[in-house]
Each structure stands twice: as C-alpha cells, then as structure tokens.
C-alpha cells in the first residue's frame, strides 16, 4: 500500500517552454503532498508543501511563479516548471502523506528527470 506515481518519468524540453509533472497517490488519499528537487549526488531539497484545495506553501528561495503547484484533488498534485531554463534541469520527486496511513510518514514517487536544452 501507499504507492505514489509520477508522470512522466523523464522529459527533455527546449529552453523557454513549460513542463508539467503529475504526482498521483494510487491507493490512499494524500491530504498533503510535497515537492522536492534533487541535484546529482545530493540530498533532497524541499521546494513546497501543498494541501488539497489550498495554495502551496513555498520554501525560502523557491520562486512560486516559476514552479506552479496545483493540488486539486486528494490523489493528484501537479508541478509546472514555467519558462524552463537549463539550470532547472534536475530530478523532481513528490511525496504524499495522509493521517490515515501513518502519521507524518511520507511516501515518495519514483521521480521525474527534467533536462532543459
């Protein structure tokens, strides 16, 4: 149980275009979803926290107009990287948590590798 999927698993796009990444909780309702960014051989950096039906809360230094997060339902959150540039190339990972599954435990998706040319 507690499976999270992400789509696409990898994407290559041209500089200046926008890319949308989906995060779905498949067998539980994720009241809260988190978006992380991971650079090669580094740890996960929390970008934002989103609660279903509310605006996302962004961490310091993360541009909310560049990384648009929508959490429209209890099973789906999306991250849109707008006007992507090569420095946005990274591994993006989402996670979901629900009090019904286990308090505070986050279940992670497999990640999406974004390459901006």
Partner 1 sequence: GEDVEQSLFLSVREGDSSVINCTYTDSSSTYLYWYKQEPGAGLQLLTYIFSNMDMKQDQRLTVLLNKKDKHLSLRIADTQTGDSAIYFCAESIRNTGKLIFGQGTTLQVKP
Interacting residue ranges for partner 1, rule: CB under 8 A = 4, 6, 32, 34, 42-44, 46, 49, 93, 95, 97, 103-111, 113
CB nearer to partner 1: give 3 or 83: 3
CB nearer to partner 1: give 16 or 53: 53
- Min dist CB 77 to partner 1, Å, is 14
The conformation of residue 110, written as its DSSP 8-state character, comes to -
Structural contact between residues 93 and 45, judged by C-beta atoms closer than 8 angstroms: no
CB nearer to partner 1: give 51 or 70: 51
To which residue do tokens 């498949």 refer? 26
Burial of 39 from C-beta contacts in 10 A (0-12 / 13-18 / 19+): exposed
- Min dist CB 58 to partner 1, Å, is 12
Tokens for 3, please give them.
């499976």
To which residue do tokens 């849109």 refer? 80
CB nearer to partner 1: give 4 or 81: 4
- Min dist CB 117 to partner 1, Å, is 20
Strand, coil or helix: 86: helix
């Amino acid at each position: 149980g507690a499976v999270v999927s992400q789509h696409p698993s990898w994407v290559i796009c041209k500089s200046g275009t926008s890319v949308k990444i989906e995060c779905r909780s498949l067998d539980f309702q994720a009241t809260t979803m988190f978006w992380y960014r991971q650079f090669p051989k580094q740890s996960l950096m929390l970008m934002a926290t989103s609660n279903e039906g509310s605006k996302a809360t962004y961490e310091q230094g993360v541009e909310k107009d560049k990384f648009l997060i929508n959490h429209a339902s209890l099973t789906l959150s999306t991250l849109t990287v707008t006007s992507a540039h090569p420095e946005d190339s990274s591994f993006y990972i989402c996670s979901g948590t629900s009090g019904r599954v286990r308090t505070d435990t986050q279940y992670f998706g497999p990640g999406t590798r974004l390459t901006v040319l």
